[in-house]
Amino acid sequence: MSARQLLSLSRVLPKRPRLDSFDYLGNHRYFLTFCTLDRHRAFVTDGPVDLVRAQIRTASCESDFVITAYVFMPDHLHLLVKGISDSADLRGFASLAKQRSGFTYSRESGRRLWQPSYYDHVLRPEEPSLFFVYYMFQNPVREGMVKHWADYPYLGSEAMSVDELSAALKEAGADAWAE
């Protein structure tokens, strides 16, 4: 199943199942997607993006996660995160990030932000983080919003600069990953 099909499924499923055999604790990497309620276009201007990004950044610090990359699309958010301690709890981080950002957004806009639950993919050791960064950064390009991902204003990383990510993607041969 493609990522696009999984994302469209998230519109109908009220609660995403988690892996029963995995505890979501520790030094693991995760690709996450949070969708806005009713897919409303919350992230089309700087204000809401900055407000939500600040809340998610705070939640990541408090939960022992680093945000490797993020992309705010108009009606959803992609995150690539990594636990940086044995006690890093993805479920706790996701809950805290959505709760805080949703509360702050609602206070500012008078509208609920997130649909229930979220999509997650636990990266296996052999799956390169940069592949997911590339997939995420190409999202606005695939949607016809920009010609090159570097021109999109609502993406980045809390771990390194966009220039550093760009250099790493180039060095990894990301052009060969194009769909």
Q: What is the CATH number of the domain that holds 61?
A: 3.30.70.1290
State the pLDDT at residue 1. Answer: 40
CA–CA gap between residue 100 and residue 53 (Å, rounded)? 11
User: pTM score, two decimals?
Assistant: 0.86
Q: Which domain holds residue 122?
A: 3-14+23-177
Q: How many domains does the chain have?
A: 1
| pLDDT interval class at 179 (50, 70, 90) | low
How confident is the model over 112-170, as pLDDT tens digits? 999 999 999 999 989 999 999 999 999 999 999 999 999 999 999 999 998 898 899 88
Across the beta sheet with 29-35, the strand order is 119-122, 29-35, 76-83, 65-73, 155-156
CA–CA gap between residue 157 and residue 133 (Å, rounded)? 10
Classify 35 as helix, strand or coil: strand
